[in-house]
Amino acid sequence: MKYYRSHVLVCVDPECLKKGAHDVMDAFQDELVAQGLIDEVQVLETSRIGGCDHGPELMVYPEGVHYTNLTPDDMPFLVEEHFLKGRIAQKFVAEEKAFTDEELSAPTAKEIRVVLRNCGKIDPENIEDYIAEDGYQALGKVLTENTPEQVIETVLNSGLKGRGGAGFPTGKKWEFCRASKETPKYVICNADEGDPGAFMNRRVLEGDPHSVIEGMIIAAYAIGSNQGYVYCRAEYPIAVKTLRIAINQARSMGLLGKNILGSGFDFDLEVRMGAGAFVCGEETALMASIEGNRGEPRPRPPFPAVKGLFAKPSNINNVETYANIPQIILRGADWYASMGTEKSKGTKTFALAGDVKHTGLIEIPFGLTLREIVYDVGGGIKDDKKFKAVQTGGPMGGCLPEAYLDLPVDYEAITKAGSIMGSGGLVIMDEDTCMVDIARFFMDFTQDESCGKCTPCRVGTRRILEILERICAGKGKPDDIETLEYLCAQIREDSLCGLGQGSPNPVVTTLKHFRDEYEAHIFEKRCPAKVCKALIRYEIIDGICTGCTVCARNCPVGAISGERRQTHVIDPDICVRCGICKQVCNFNAIVIN
């Protein structure tokens, strides 16, 4: 087997060839021979490195350095610098990596990985991999060097807040639970990550399950618990499987069970699966579900730290919160608190979704602005359209318009702006999004997921949905906005749990920031974003249509008629607004009015 230490890709696209790519390649190879490197470096022809404007160009792997604007005369210097001396020849390096169609969502300079540090790096089904990355060292440190009170103090000083949504200081929660005298106590991990589009917990559970286990053992030691539960949603079967394997490995190595690391401390862990109910992400509903009941929330107080699972003191945090703990213990509270803003410390994972170029998971320190997240980390809006709104916090969050783009993202600022941090979902919406339709979409979700225990949420969300559906269908009434505002206020005031209280948020925030769109739907029977099907018409423009018949042949309902080479016509009464005609038209002759 022949190994090359370096691979060089030469772009041989027509444009680069015209500029002399082959001459550069020949000179490069001659120089490799001259400097005795030909056996170590492999030269390959390729296409589309990305910067044909600045050709000829080379891409050098493994470093991934992109050299542009090269001439054959540059080769002796380049080969000597890069391949002999191992220094990157800065003067030829492309100014910006111009990956045209291969856009990336890998870590950018603004990301810092604490929770996700091992994800995709280690084999989650092999505990050795985790141990090699300092795994269980924090546990060892805590059990041999710290009292439970010292652990709580470290977590308090780190400033870590619960990553599940409410943002309650984790150290405080532990302190309360430690103070409860009753035993046994329970440690619970909320892995019932239900917000649509948010999957950071799945990634941690599937990619680095031991970090969560280690965090939970440390929490148990701090509050004085010997039994823990991970409650994971049934929609994540692979996460459950990975977690179970990890728990078994930890147990067989003695990191779970009796007398952990010879300290005399006992702790064991069980995985419980949900059965498909969004509300079980609410902590009291979750505990009801573990007990074998309907997952319905109950009023607080008493708080779980006093009366939780099986009416015993319980500490409940989410996956991301626990996964932070080992790093905080190992690297110190000061290190963690050095990241983030004044009141929100450390990093947070977000799921970027919607109309942004790079979708996927990111982990950033608190304090970046929404603009930095959307444009620098997310690469901007797809197809370079205009930004319209960002929806934060999942179905109970709110939509923030352009005016909030320079808002630094932390718990306090997001709450002040009228939305919530939630578990970290960020849905980016472009100019083609109808905000009334978005409000309707989220209301449909919460209405469906309402557990039905309390009336404001059960009935109120239903009424709101009905009004929104009517508005989207072009049948809005003049007093609808007022009724919506009244209903939202009532539900927010009177619901039992966070799901109910937060459920009007999408409506409240869109009413506040995009009231004109509601008014256009209600009073002008017009959908400005051209989304609501009852309010739009597909029309064929006379003069542009060539009568090619493509649209008529593709229309699934036969709504388009017309002779060959004559302008075609869409019958609005038959048309179902599926948009296929617009997609297949080769002449852009179909518009939405």
Partner 1 sequence: MAGNGKDGKVVANVVKAAVDRYGASQDELIPILNEVNREIGYLPGEALNEISRLLRVPKSHLFSVASFYRMLSTKPRGKHVIQFCESAPCHVAGGREVWIAVKEYLNIDEDQTTPDGKWTLLTTSCLGVCGVGPVMVIDDDIYGNVEPSQVPSILEKYH
Partner 2 sequence: MSTIKSLDDLKRAKEEALKKRELKATSGAAQVIVGMGTCGIAAGARDTMKAILETIEQDSITGVIVTQTGCIGLCEREPIVQVIIGEQPKVTYGKVTPEVARKIMKEHVKAGKIVSNNVINL
Residue numbers at the binding site for partner 1 (CB under 8 A): 193-199, 202, 234-237, 272-278, 289-296, 310, 351, 353-354, 359-360, 427, 441, 449, 451
Per residue, the 3-state secondary structure of 197-231, as one string, reads CCCHHHHHHHHCHHHHHHHHHHHHHHHCCCEEEEE
Residue 269 Cβ, how far from partner 1 at the closest point, in Å?
15
**Beta carbon nearer to partner 1, 97 or 241:** 241
Of 113-121, 320-328, 330-338, 580-588, the window that binds partner 2 (rule: CB under 8 A) is 113-121
Say which entry of partner 2, partner 1, none residue 127 contacts (CB below 5 to 8 A, set by partner kind). Answer: partner 2
Beta strands in 334-482 (DSSP E): 347-354, 360-365, 387-392, 398-401, 425-430
39 binds partner 2 (CB under 8 A): no
Per residue, the 3-state secondary structure of 537-591, as one string, reads CEEECCCCCCCCCHHHHHCCCCCEECCCCCCCEECCCCCCCCCHHHHHCCCCCEE
Q: How far apart are CA 116 and CA 208, in angstroms?
A: 8
Q: Are 89 and 82 in contact (CB under 8 A)?
A: yes
Q: How far apart are CA 551 and CA 121, in angstroms?
A: 49
Say which entry of partner 2, partner 1, none residue 486 contacts (CB below 5 to 8 A, set by partner kind). Answer: none
Contacts with partner 2: how many residues (CB under 8 A)? Answer: 61
Beta strands in 118-243 (DSSP E): 186-191, 227-232
Instruction: State the CB neighbour count (10 A cutoff) for residue 419.
Output: 25
**Beta carbon nearer to partner 1, 237 or 302:** 237
Say which entry of partner 1, partner 2, none residue 181 contacts (CB below 5 to 8 A, set by partner kind). Answer: none
Q: At what angle do helices 209-223 and 237-252 cross, to 10 degrees?
A: 60
**Beta carbon nearer to partner 2, 98 or 580:** 98
Q: Which residue has the tokens 């009291």?
A: 284
10 binds partner 2 (CB under 8 A): no
Q: How far apart are CA 497 and CA 483, in angstroms?
A: 23
207 binds partner 2 (CB under 8 A): yes
Residue type, 587: F
Q: Are 570 and 589 in contact (CB under 8 A)?
A: no
CB burial string 210-240: b at 16+ within 10 A, e below: bbbbbbbbbbbbbbbbbbbbbbbbeebeebb
Exactly one of 14, 120, 184, 452 binds partner 2 (CB under 8 A); that residue is 120
Say which entry of partner 2, partner 1, none residue 449 contacts (CB below 5 to 8 A, set by partner kind). Answer: partner 1
**Beta carbon nearer to partner 2, 64 or 556:** 64
Of 40-48, 87-95, 211-219, 565-573, the window that binds partner 2 (rule: CB under 8 A) is 40-48
Q: Which two tokens stand for residue 254?
A: 């003695």
Angle at 336 between CA 334 and CA 340, to 5 degrees: 115
**Beta carbon nearer to partner 1, 198 or 508:** 198
Say which entry of partner 1, partner 2, none residue 61 contacts (CB below 5 to 8 A, set by partner kind). Answer: partner 2
**Beta carbon nearer to partner 2, 43 or 569:** 43
What part of residues 349-388 is at the interface with partner 2 (CB under 8 A)?
A: 359-362
**Beta carbon nearer to partner 1, 186 or 514:** 186
403 binds partner 2 (CB under 8 A): no
Say which entry of partner 2, partner 1, none residue 30 contacts (CB below 5 to 8 A, set by partner kind). Answer: none
Residue type, 195: D
Exactly one of 29, 35, 126, 501 binds partner 2 (CB under 8 A); that residue is 126
Exactly one of 86, 262, 264, 301 binds partner 2 (CB under 8 A); that residue is 262
**Pairing mode, if any, of strands 360-365 and 347-354?**
antiparallel
Q: How far apart are CA 206 and CA 232, in angstroms?
A: 12
339 binds partner 2 (CB under 8 A): no
Residue 579 Cβ, how far from partner 2 at the closest point, in Å?
23
CA of residue 143 relative to chain centroid, distance: 34
Instruction: State the CB neighbour count (10 A cutoff) for residue 558.
Output: 10
206 binds partner 2 (CB under 8 A): yes
Beta strands in 307-385 (DSSP E): 314-318, 347-354, 360-365
Residue 270 Cβ, how far from partner 1 at the closest point, in Å?
10
What part of residues 224-243 is at the interface with partner 2 (CB under 8 A)?
A: 236, 238-239, 242
Say which entry of partner 2, partner 1, none residue 393 contacts (CB below 5 to 8 A, set by partner kind). Answer: none
268 vs 226, 255, 286, 389, 393, CA distance in Å?
A: 6, 9, 19, 45, 33
**Beta carbon nearer to partner 1, 183 or 293:** 293
100 binds partner 2 (CB under 8 A): no
62 binds partner 2 (CB under 8 A): yes
Residues that bind partner 2 (CB under 8 A): 1-5, 7, 9, 42, 44, 46, 61-64, 97, 99, 102, 104-107, 116, 119-129, 131-132, 134-137, 140, 143-144, 202-203, 206-208, 236, 238-239, 242, 252-255, 261-262, 359-362
